[in-house]
Amino acid sequence: MEFAEDIETIIQGYAQGYFLMADDMGIMGWYSSRKRALIPLDERFRYPKSLQRVLNQNRFSVAINRDFLGVCEGCAQRETTWISPQLIDIYYDLYQEGWAHSFETWQGDELAGGILGIAIGGAFIGESMFYRIPEGSKVAMVKLVEHLKKRNFILFDAQLQNPHLERFGAYQVNDQTYQVLLQKALTKNCVFS
């Protein structure tokens, strides 16, 4: 799929199962995967027992879009990243139009961690996550799943599987199954924030 920067085209791309990434040279492109990682929004969702202690201690507060650009920058600050300055600008445009969101954890006035994603209908497409304070992103994941369930979302797309996501019960589906789930989710009229 050819890359174009207008919001409508970008949302159409995500609604067809593509996602944006910058390559090693910073060149933006559309990508898809034969296998998609999904975070379960039912009883299959789980997390490490040690995290329950952190949740019980209420170390973090949760916010939505309090520091959207801070979350974008936090997600981009790693040795190898697909989040280029151009992609941050695109996320910011999507945020201003109500499509992109940051789900954040805070410790006092400090951004502890967060998850960046795009909400379309009943689908939340997780783009990236990061933490500055240990457990910040894990708590964000647990609280985001609770939030999505309350808002009647039916799909939490994490795009690519990794061992960290597996600890939360993430599982993979083939592209055909993913497309069916995505199209069903797009018929829902859910409000993220």
28 inside domain: no
Residue 70 burial (C-beta neighbours within 10 Å; 0-12, 13-18, 19+): middle
Please state whether beta strands 61-64 and 100-107 pair in parallel, antiparallel, or not at all (unpaired). antiparallel
84 inside domain: yes
115 inside domain: yes
> What's the pLDDT band for 164 if we cut at 50, 70, 90?
confident
Q: Which amino acid does the sequence have at 84?
A: S
127 inside domain: yes
For 135, list phi and psi in degrees, rounded to 5: 75, -5
Give tens-digit pLDDT for 101-160: 999 999 999 999 999 999 999 999 999 999 999 999 999 999 999 999 999 999 999 998
Mean pLDDT, the chain, rounded, equals 94
| CATH number, domain containing residue 178 | 3.40.630.70
22 inside domain: no
- For the chain, how many structural domains are there in total? 1
Expressed as residue numbers, the domain containing 66 is: 35-186
The pLDDT of residue 179 is above 60 = yes
Tokens of 38: 């999904």
Residue-level pLDDT at 4: 59
- Predicted structure pTM score: 0.94
19 inside domain: no
Q: Identify any residues that bridge with 160 across adjacent strands, giving them in sequence order.
A: none
CB 177 within 8 A of CB 35: no
24 inside domain: no
CB 30 within 8 A of CB 20: yes
Instruction: Please give the Cα distance from 145 to 133 (Å, whole number).
Output: 20
Count of H helices and E strands in the chain? 7, 9
193 inside domain: no
Give tens-digit pLDDT for 51-66: 999 999 999 999 999 9
Give tens-digit pLDDT for 1-51: 445 578 999 999 999 999 999 988 888 999 999 999 999 999 999 998 889
Tokens of 142: 């647990």
Give tens-digit pLDDT for 79-100: 878 899 999 999 999 999 999 9
